[in-house]
A and B are shown apart, each in its own frame.
Chain A
């Protein structure tokens, strides 16, 4: 290594073999770069370009409007309302996912007799197609014949059937619950994998040092889970922030715009109101918010590396 460090810059003296390797390297990553450019870079630049036009979606015709779309974004209510809804949804569903995911991972880490069966079953919601999951949950939530209302009335918790997805705050609670149910298995698997690598003798040492079960969780398990939890929280936050299908299918953003997250707003603007330019401006705004999570995530993974 020291030889390389003291050599003149590599490009100046690189041997034919080194140049051949470099060419091979470029050749090998070229397909990825090409696909990446086509599906990520081009749409991104196109969105920024579109956002300074007023475009009618069906014809894709329209005129240049400058910053008008961004002025609307900043001064209008739609973007800010959707941002608020998105944050409530993300924080709510993510919190539930983490609490349920860590809790269940801890349970499945114990020596319980149905452990291997439970470990497979817990993945079920994650594997289920969103459409199927939403259909099942819509049936459960139904205000006329839904099992949820039936159960709650049987238990005497409510007198009258509740309108779960058609009124607030029930609709938000509903989507948060379904989101948590759908995505907590991801947390379980990641946390369980980490739990299995914590050396058993740390717990034994803690027992000898006088730590009870709760102290052992706070003093050993949780600090050991810290790095994996940070990554899970950031990843899930990014994914939940841009969640579309589950919310669209369950409430369509309603009632009115009470569960209309930014993804739904962009969709509504582009294909409901046929305003592609305004939709592009919203999506650029959304991307800037997500950039915060991305920077945090990249920092975190860099730190680990």
Chain B
């Protein structure tokens, strides 16, 4: 059993509060991504789990054992660093074998374990090379090899793919998913790249301002964002958020009425100011009836076109249409929003979502900063 639990963990550096009331329950064998923008506290969370930083208060446990006072080497974890942190004066083989050497595993046993890890990562032919003789992708694999050679309970990965080029990154993403499936070990993966989090993780903790905004499956994070931050952070382009007013069965944007289904929202939804959220793909562009808008920009990416539209009150939103669709800049259009795909949020800076379908596992309102 190697579940990881953060219980009421706080961390401050001097007067700066990096993390506040962090509660996370990561199950055995799970692949969890900590996702958020720079400075959200995700790396601090990982470093505390590794034992490289210490919580100001609260409790961290791995496999039922509280590790607050345990040295990193005694936590039965392995970590892959963003910069790989390979020992430059050691060969690939010595790098991979180092954790075993420090655990007193000698001779044939060590060589065999190193060979096994190297074979798994296709590094067999490179064992005698020095790190600087390797490409970025090979160095990355050596760092992985060093992590998995001693079969730790938990793998910690700190933006391990961010120094690779786009092609190699997508290749390594697939490798990591495969590796996780094969090893079945708990993995905690820090990233600021939503694509990595969405494709690799079984659950994602979206972090912002030292708080976990939502801890849920990629599907729930995308389709049922707990609040405006998560809605705006996930998706490329992100979910459109338009401020307006709820009036009976309609949401009013700049004097124009967009029909909504009142029964789909919680009792907290009252007539008055609110924020409408809609994904770019849930907007259909036509003519005649609908919310009037003007085409301002059409970006064809090859398989789709992202259209930037201007509403009558000059606010801009984006929509996703098929690549073949021809739209001219300046062309007036009418937008229709699928009522089933409309999210409503409280009209505050990081307002909570008011739809009834959501049961976010861990929703903490954002600290006002």
Contact = CB atoms under 8 A, between A and B. Distances in A.
A208 B50 contact: yes
Contacts of A199: 83, 85
Contacts of A207: 51-52, 71-73
A209 interface: yes
A211 interface: yes
Nearest to B99: A209
Contact of A210 (B50, B73, B85): B73
B89 A210 contact: no
B177 to A, nearest CB: 23
A208 B70 CA distance: 11
Interface in A208-227: 208-212, 215, 219-220, 223-224, 226
Interface string B58-101: 00000000000001111001110101011111000000001100
A205 B79 contact: yes
B89 A226 contact: yes
A234 B296 CA distance: 70
A18 interface: no
A202 interface: yes
B102 A215 contact: yes
Contacts of A210: 73-74, 99, 102-103
A166 B66 CA distance: 66
Given A204-B52, A223-B89, A226-B89, A211 B73 contact: yes
Interface residues of A, number: 18
A204 B77 CA distance: 13
A11 interface: no
Nearest to B47: A204
A201 interface: yes
Nearest to B71: A207
A51 to B, nearest CB: 46
Given A210-B73, A223-B89, A204 B81 contact: yes
B42 interface: no
Interface residues of B, number: 22
Contacts, number: 59
A208 B75 CA distance: 8
Nearest to A222: B89
A54 B72 CA distance: 73
B145 to A, nearest CB: 12
Contact of B102 (A201, A202, A211): A211
Contacts of B99: 208-210
A206 B79 CA distance: 10
Contacts of A223: 87, 89
Contacts of B74: 210
Interface centre among A199, A202, A205 (most CB of B within 10 A): A205
B141 interface: no
B146 interface: yes
Nearest to B156: A208
A209 B95 CA distance: 10
Contacts of B78: 208
Contact of A209 (B51, B52, B88, B146): B146
B89 to A, nearest CB: 4
Contacts of A202: 85, 87-88
- Closest 10 CB pairs between A and B? A210-B73, A210-B102, A205-B85, A223-B89, A209-B99, A201-B85, A207-B72, A208-B72, A208-B79, A201-B81
Interface of B: 50-52, 71-74, 77-79, 81, 83, 85-89, 98-99, 102-103, 146
Interface of A: 199, 201-202, 204-212, 215, 219-220, 223-224, 226
11 contacts: A202-B87, A204-B79, A204-B81, A205-B81, A205-B85, A207-B72, A208-B72, A211-B73, A211-B102, A224-B88, A224-B89
Given A209-B98, A210-B74, 19 more contacts: A199-B85, A201-B81, A202-B87, A204-B85, A205-B85, A205-B86, A205-B146, A207-B51, A207-B73, A208-B50, A208-B52, A208-B72, A208-B73, A211-B98, A212-B73, A215-B102, A220-B87, A223-B87, A223-B89
